[in-house]
Structure 1
């Protein structure tokens, strides 16, 4: 309120107690003289420092020259030569612990008399200069001010800030000194678990939305899976941080693979159900004829084969059966072998030799179908293995991209800390 003076600075005296009330690392670093010196570490964690001065009563001038609000703040934080170091301790700590500092000054919002009714005063009655300053302030906060981050550049959300507060308060209540490093590790475990959950939830929702079961081929299913697995990894990496040894990403990979297996199983079941319904409907009248003994007459076997072939041809023409169509037909025909053999044996127009030949022919056809299905299953297994390899490569690619991004953030963070320390050193010399 008013100006940045010694009294205002003394009200921020708590910053001088930070190194006593909280520590950055579980094992404090030592400076060149062997003393605990982690002000640089605090720089990595502390947010931007914004000082808003209400009812500002001075002119923004220094030695007769106009200055900016930020220059006004920096000048106020300079140590005065004649002041004891204790009086300027708050200034020193603000410079040491906050790498980014910003200042805004505000005129009185209205005349002294109007201030009594400020709550109900329409905006049109407010001081135009005050409104302009408020707009400038809000614009900075909303559009330029950096979000709070923790080491590595991970943005702190409202939820994660709440978790950090709980961790700090629990430590204080237990009588220990809160440690930022330990709190961040605990937060990382919670956030990484949530990141896996978010990624899986996203994957499930997108699969449900874009994949209709059953699919006609395994390729169709694997293509959709690959697309949304890729997106799910992005969702995970956007929230995850400090994933030591990539344990949580491995867990995500395990869960996504399990989801793929579950999806394949559901796809096969949906296909089997569809095929069974089609076969039941198509063969219904043929089953009724078998039940009535219509084929158990002379020449009935050939008529049975013709009718069965007609039904099979109709079955092939039905769309939307899925990839279990051949297997379902094979199983269905196999279940009718006993009835077919009964009809064959009852047909008096065929000799015993012809019947033996027919039995062998049916066995050969069944064996050929079995071999074809076996090859198809092997082919699908190969495609699944190839998909698993692609999944591994996608995880690796996105992880390498994130690691490179994290490396750039750490370098930028290190450069920021070094520049901030240099500025502090220069200000102390000056």
Structure 2
């Protein structure tokens, strides 16, 4: 993708919908996907981070006004920079808390979708991680109202932790010193300190439970947490045209902090998975987005277990069809070459099955094996049908040979080729019959194989004809020499001597002709010299 596209749009009526253009792009991605979603309050610089994760300064609109630029959820898919064979899917979400929307429910669903679709969730904020910043993250406390893992679950928080993404908090325009009790601390330690739970007892002041709620939810839902702080990138005037600035125009500390953040995400973000640790492809991610948006629009609580099972059924049903088509294509491609025996056909079947199974191992989802068994059963049926088709095809083509080679068979029966020059005529008649055969059979699966079998049968006959042709040609030459010598001797020797010599030679030639021709035809008859 050269530029981002809208994945989930919220229309003028506020109803969400998954965009077909984005689904077509995801449909083509058969690789595992690493999905990184960036969420946060509007006008906090989320889109800039996503552009940098792609390795560009532009792409998602940044804007330099108070108006929020991103609406819905936008998607940008690129080859993963550090994981060959993977695709990095970046999601830039509509800014939360936009006063022009006036719909907190909409913000909650945007946040929920970002959590459910991503393998790494980046929350972007400004200033510091204080109580005000945490209160603005109240969407975390509402996750349990809209999402459940199973239809009946004992420990909802533990179940959600197992399926939720890793969590990264980026704090922009950070001006504080990372110190605690006079000692330097890391950004991660700064986050954990901000999430510290206050003890609650009878003497606790009012508001402690509210103080702890968001913090406890963040701890309960996101087991893996990281934090990155970033200084202000440039002065206020320059910030209004961020899309035009290069790294040379920005504060060096900010550039380094952004690079550290991008490096962490590129190397640490994992493949998006579903129940059982099954990695999602782009196609499956698109189906999952459709499932979640449909549940939201229908007002249902999202049940991850049911949604994953539905996704597995859809994906596995499609995988059965596509893998079987791959097997069929492999069989048809290999069967264009001659297969003399069932053993040869079985070899082709085994090779095609092995390739198809290797694909199916990366295609099927879920713990149940019924789709794999369905696929194997379908392949066996295809193989049996192929065997039957081969025999029927072979039988049909064999019925064509008597008609197309009728002239050849007739000449063989009456011994027409057993003469000097007979082998050349035999080859000409054989080639003419093969041309006629091919013109009638066209490109049948077994047509060429049956022709090959027929030609191999006639090869031995052709060898005999060629041997006889050579012997007869040599005998004719000797006969011509003998005739010429006889004429000379007639003029030079007495009649009774010539008659005796001629008869001896005639007997020798007749004997040789009988040896050459054998039982294929009557021996040549030479007229006696008078």
Deviation at 1:183, TM superposition (A): 0.9
Shift of 1:152: 0.6
TM-score (norm. length: structure 1): 0.61
State the Cα distance separating 1:97 from its structure 2 match.
1.0
User: 1:46-57 alignment to 2 at 5 Å?
Assistant: 46-57=164-175
CA contact (8 A) 1:214 1:268 kept: no
* Cα distance, 1:23–1:227 mapped onto 2, change above 3 Å: same
Q: Is the Cα–Cα contact under 8 Å of residues 213 and 267 in structure 1 kept in the other structure? A: no
Matched residue, 1:178: 302
Matched, 1:15 2:15: no
RCO greater where, 1 or 2, for CA within 8 Å and sep 6 or more? Answer: 1
Identify the match of residue 197 of structure 1 among 318, 321, 346: 321
**Among residues 140, 152, 174, which one is paired with 1:27 in the alignment?**
152
In structure 1, list runs of 5 or more residues that go unmatched: 30-36, 331-430
Kept after mapping to 1: 8 A contact 2:327/2:353: yes
**Is the 8 Å Cα contact of residues 148 and 155 (structure 1) preserved in structure 2?**
yes
Matched, 1:146 2:270: yes
1:215·1:323 contact (CA, 8 Å) conserved in 2? no
Deviations 1:173-227 (A, max 9, x none): 4343221111111111011112223322333344455553331232222223212
Give, in whole Å, the separation in 1 of the partners of 2:326 and 2:182: 61
Shift in alpha-carbon separation, 1:132–1:218, aligned structure 2, 3 A: farther
Q: Secondary structure at the match of 2:233?
A: coil
- d(CA) in 1 for partners of 2:396, 2:255: 69
Distance 1:220 1:74, change over 3 A: farther
Structure 2 matches for 1:223-372, cutoff 5 A?
Answer: 223-244=347-368, 246-268=369-391, 271=394, 280-287=403-410, 322=449
* Alignment partner of 2:187 out of 50, 56, 69: 69
- Secondary structure of 1:87's aligned partner: helix
Partner of 2:160: 42
> Greater helix percent: which structure?
1
Residue in 2 that maps onto 1:423? none
Q: What are the superposed Cα offsets for residues 361-403 of structure 1, whole Å, 9 maximum, x if unpaired?
A: xxxxxxxxxxxxxxxxxxxxxxxxxxxxxxxxxxxxxxxxxxx
Give RMSD over aligned pairs: 3.7
Q: Does the 8 Å contact 1:213/1:271 carry over to 2?
A: no
Q: Is the Cα contact below 8 Å between 1:214 and 1:270 reproduced in 2?
A: no
Residues 1:271 and 1:70: Cα distance change in structure 2 (over 3 Å) = farther
Matched, 1:4 2:129: yes
More strand by share: 2
Q: Return 5+ residue gaps in structure 2 as ranges.
A: 1-125, 435-445, 458-530
Runs of 4+ with >6 A deviation? 323-330
Structure 1 pair 197/109, CA: closer, same or farther in 2 (3 Å)?
Answer: farther
Equivalent position SS for 1:85: helix
Secondary structure of the residue aligned to 1:239 is coil
Q: Per-residue CA shift, 1:236-291, capped at 9, x if unaligned?
A: 221322243x211111012211232343345446655665666654443335x69x
SS in 1 for 2:227: strand
Does 1:116 find its partner at 2:223?
A: no
The aligned length equals 306
Larger radius of gyration: 2
Q: Provide the rounded CA distance (Å) in 2 between the counterparts of 1:98 and 1:164.
A: 21
Work out whether residues 77 and 91 of structure 1, in 8 Å CA contact, stay in contact via their aligned partners in 2: yes
Please tell me whether the aligned partners of residues 271 and 325 of structure 1 are also in contact (alpha carbons under 8 angstroms): no
| Aligned partner (choices 210, 215, 218) of residue 86 of structure 1 | 210
